[in-house]
Amino acid sequence: MKEQLKEIQATFVQKLQHVADAQELEQLRVEYLGKTGVLKEILRGMGKLPKEERPVMGALANEVRDALEESIEGKRQELKDRKLEEQIGREWIDITLPGKRPTLGHPHPNSLTTREIIDVFHSMGFVLEDGPEIDTVANNFDALNSPPDHPSRDFSDTFYFDETNLLRTHTSPVQVRTMMKQAPPIRMITIGRCFRNDALDATHSPMFTQCEGLVVDEGITMGDLKGTLEQMVQLLFGPETQSVFRPHNFPFTEPSAEVDITCFKCKGAGCRFCSGTGAIEILGCGMVHPDVLEYCGIDSEKYTGFAFGMGIERVTLLKYEIDDIRYLFENDQRFTRQFRR
Ligand SMILES: [Zn+2]
């Protein structure tokens, strides 16, 4: 039996030398030390030995087992070290090579316009207000002097949740909320998403971003409105840009106007961009209707105000000479990447 053990140990050592990876090592371990392994087989034969030989042989068998286990452990460590060395060799890095720059994100053109407009109005002392995209029919229509039969209230134009709640069709509810919570003087702008049941085409989108502004104080006149908007237009589109006020009609302002600016592509000469007129419509505005002030709890005998609103997408399209609003919502990187600064 002693010979047998010696023999086992010798062949084991030989086989161990040829082991190339962890898997082969495990196979060898099972072959020799497993439950049905060579060593267990030998130990089973111990019962046939004379009683006095058994402890000696037992001790020897344990010795052999310990030796095998130890060499397996040694081999395992050796394999691990070798693998690591190979990996280090493989993954060697040439630190003199130029690095790859990670692609950095950048603002969407609409965000660029938004930030610019906020900066322009901050410089004129306006406060930025915010309001919910889901608002009440009262805030969206009633407060703004919109007659009950006004076409904009129609189900085909407005997304209603129920009789009292809707997706705001403009950012004017934020003006209403501001007037209701704050006494004049008020000088605020708000920028946010609005929703109308419009088709999606080159110039319309059911979701769009609006910027509205409101000033309410004693003695505010149409002259203040004109001065403020002219300054804004020049800051946004360049100092040579002229603005023209055309009379218009909105339920929430009286008098009301639409503002055209000099086409910045042809400088007023007329081109395809401005349909040959030399001017581009940019916003709607007017003096806040006394009914709107009164609805919001402001004394219309004491205070007057002006309000204006414009589409952020429209400004973006104009500023960057983009001819289709859908580019702004598709997030095609071939488009958005062009606005990387
Ligand atoms: Zn033009």
Is 219 in contact with 338 (CB distance < 8 Å)? no
Residue 208 sits in the same domain as residue 301: yes
Residue at token pair 């004049």: 184
How many Å apart are CA 115 and CA 329, to the nearest integer? 18
Is 292 in contact with 252 (CB distance < 8 Å)? yes
Residue 178 lies in a domain: yes
How many Å apart are CA 333 and CA 122, to the nearest integer? 31
Tens-digit pLDDT profile for the chain (341 aa)?
A: 778 888 888 888 888 888 888 888 888 888 888 888 877 787 777 777 788 878 888 888 888 888 888 888 888 898 888 888 888 888 877 888 888 888 888 889 999 999 999 999 999 999 999 999 999 999 999 888 887 777 777 777 899 999 999 999 999 999 999 999 999 999 999 999 999 988 888 888 999 999 999 999 999 999 999 999 999 999 988 888 889 999 999 889 999 999 999 887 788 888 887 888 888 889 999 999 999 999 999 999 999 999 999 999 988 988 888 888 999 998 888 888 888 76
Cα 262 to ligand 1 centroid, rounded to whole Å: 8
Is 301 in contact with 294 (CB distance < 8 Å)? no
Cα 111 to ligand 1 centroid, rounded to whole Å: 25
Residue 96 lies in a domain: no
Residue 154 lies in a domain: yes
Residue 70 sits in the same domain as residue 176: no
User: 87 phi and psi, to 5 degrees?
Assistant: -60, -45
Indicate the number of domains in the chain.
2
Residue 18 sits in the same domain as residue 128: no
Residue 141 sits in the same domain as residue 261: yes
pLDDT of residue 63: 85
Cα 245 to ligand 1 centroid, rounded to whole Å: 18
**Where among 90, 119, 147 does a domain terminate?**
90
**Where among 57, 90, 123 does a domain terminate?**
90
User: 175 phi and psi, to 5 degrees?
Assistant: -65, -45
- Residue 268, number of CB atoms within 10 A of its CB: 17
pLDDT of residue 257: 94
Residue 154 sits in the same domain as residue 302: yes
Residue 104 lies in a domain: no
Cα 297 to ligand 1 centroid, rounded to whole Å: 44
pLDDT of residue 280: 87
What is the residue-wise DSSP string for 273-295?
TTTTSSEEEEEEEEEEPHHHHHH
User: 263 phi and psi, to 5 degrees?
Assistant: -60, 120
Beta bridge mates, 190 = 129, 212
156: tokens are 């085909």
Residue 27 sits in the same domain as residue 123: no
Residue 99 lies in a domain: no
Name the pTM for this structure. Answer: 0.68
**Where among 90, 122, 144 does a domain terminate?**
90
Residue 118 lies in a domain: yes
Residue 233 sits in the same domain as residue 315: yes
Residue 245 sits in the same domain as residue 303: yes
Residue 142 sits in the same domain as residue 266: yes
3-state secondary structure 142-166: HHHCCCCCCHHHCCCCCCECCCCEE
pLDDT of residue 135: 95
Residue 138 sits in the same domain as residue 81: no
Cα 280 to ligand 1 centroid, rounded to whole Å: 8
- Residue 15, number of CB atoms within 10 A of its CB: 14
Q: What is the CATH number of the domain that holds 196?
A: 3.30.930.10
Residue 103 lies in a domain: no
Cα 247 to ligand 1 centroid, rounded to whole Å: 22
The SS3 assignment for 267 reads coil
Cα 323 to ligand 1 centroid, rounded to whole Å: 13
Cα 191 to ligand 1 centroid, rounded to whole Å: 27
Residues 6+ apart with CB under 8 A from 291: 145, 300
pLDDT of residue 122: 94
pLDDT of residue 159: 92
How many Å apart are CA 4 and CA 32, to the nearest integer? 13
CB-based burial, 171-203: b 16+ in 10 Å, e otherwise: bbbbbbbbbeeeebebbbbbbbebbbeeeeeee
Residue 152 sits in the same domain as residue 290: yes
pLDDT of residue 209: 95
Residue 257 lies in a domain: yes
Residue 197 sits in the same domain as residue 85: no
Q: Rg for the chain (alpha carbons), in Å?
A: 41
331: tokens are 């997030």
Q: Provide the residue range defining the domain that includes 282.
A: 109-339
